[in-house]
Amino acid sequence: MSDINSGGNYEECRNTADWLLNHTQVRPTVGIVCGSGLGGLAGMLKDPQVFKYSDIPNFPRSTVHGHAGQLVFGTLKGKPCVCMQGRFHLYEGYPIQKITLPMRVFKLMGVETVILTNAAGGLNQDFKVGDIMIIKDHVNMPGFAGNNPLAGPNDDRFGVRFPCMSDAYDRELQQLAHEVATELGYSDFLREGVYCVLGGPSFETIAECRMLHRLGGDAVGMSTVHEVIVARHAGMRCFAMSLITNRSVMDYDSQERANHEEVLETSGQRSKQMEKLVTTMLDRLDNNKNNSF
Ligand SMILES: O=P(O)(O)O[C@@H]1C[C@H](O)[C@@H](CO)O1
């Protein structure tokens, strides 16, 4: 387990939030996290104000190709937003509290709803490359070994010691995503399922993919879950989607080999539809009191 001072404590998060609020007029209520090759969403923000992670106090640096490493403030369909154009992963070597620090900073800036995207391998044999999966639940494999971002002393200013996770993914937002996807004509490639997180950076073996599939996983990746745990702990509601960028290899006769280039290539091909789905959802939230921001 990481040292308790390794990132994410209240004072550190407060300093970062205050620094950002002093440098932007935007008061975000929506936080967005972009997955591998999916940073184009940040480019949709109106009147953008961009901060490189390297200029933000206490922020780690992005080290992964396809993660630009900047925080963008602006409005999307009239909603004040903050968007992480690139996220941090366990395998980059940061303590788990550090990779989730932006969620606490979001909370302290006033964010109420977090929308996350990721690239993932498809464990479900019905899934195709290019499918978009609404995440309805997760399996936190590093968590089974005690690697949970909430391990260590609990700070009640963020949330309770034992937060519930059976409602981790907001059901109203999932329903809205289904409705919007149907209207946009995306039904053919819209799925829902369970996302399994591993630490990475190595992709999974065939035996691991088979096991995760049998355990109920529909997609496998290396992110999102830690952010969702910290966001839920702090009371923000979460909606997350995986873009299935490759099919998980389940068969010893297969010639397929997972690789990051394919991940980025598929992200590029489907990113526009993901952006449209998110922006239309944001637009609709205005007209539905149950989904007010
Ligand atoms: O940030 P995400 O989860 O989209 O990134 C995925 C997992 C690895 O970082 C990388 C593998 O290609 O893409």
Each residue of 3-61: pLDDT tens digit?
544 678 999 999 999 999 999 999 999 999 999 989 999 999 999 999 999 999 999 99
Domain locations along the chain = 10-284
CA-proximal residue: ligand 1, atom 7 (nearest): 222
Q: Is the CB of 271 under 6 A from ligand 1?
A: no
Confidence tier at 291 by pLDDT (50, 70, 90): very low
CA-proximal residue: ligand 1, atom 1 (nearest): 35
Q: How much is the pLDDT for 286?
A: 63
> Computed from CA positions of residues 273, 199, 83, 61, in that sequence, does the dihedral angle turn out positive or negative?
negative
- The answer to ipTM > 0.90 is yes
Confidence tier at 149 by pLDDT (50, 70, 90): very high
Q: Is the CB of 86 under 6 A from ligand 1?
A: no
Q: Is the CB of 213 under 6 A from ligand 1?
A: no
What pTM value is reported for the model? Answer: 0.96
Task: Compute the half-sphere exposure of residue 132: CA atoms within 13 Å on the CB side of its CA.
Answer: 29
Q: Is the CB of 222 under 6 A from ligand 1?
A: yes
Give the integer Cα–Cα distance in Å for 249 and 51: 38
Decide if 69 contacts 53 (C-beta within 8 A). yes
Q: Is 91 a catalytic residue?
A: yes
CA-proximal residue: ligand 1, atom 6 (nearest): 119
Q: Is 65 a catalytic residue?
A: no
Give residue 169's identity as a one-letter amino acid code: Y
CA-proximal residue: ligand 1, atom 5 (nearest): 36
Question: Which residues partner with 33 through β-bridges?
Answer: 84, 116
Q: Is 246 a catalytic residue?
A: yes
Say if residue 276's pLDDT is above 60: yes
Q: Is 260 a catalytic residue?
A: yes
Taking the CA of residue 221 as reference, the ligand 1 atom at the shortest distance is 7
Q: How much is the pLDDT for 1?
A: 44
Taking the CA of residue 258 as reference, the ligand 1 atom at the shortest distance is 12
> Computed from CA positions of residues 198, 262, 268, 67, in that sequence, does the dihedral angle turn out positive or negative?
positive
CATH number given to 10-284 = 3.40.50.1580
Give residue 120 CA to ligand 1 midpoint distance, Å.
Answer: 7
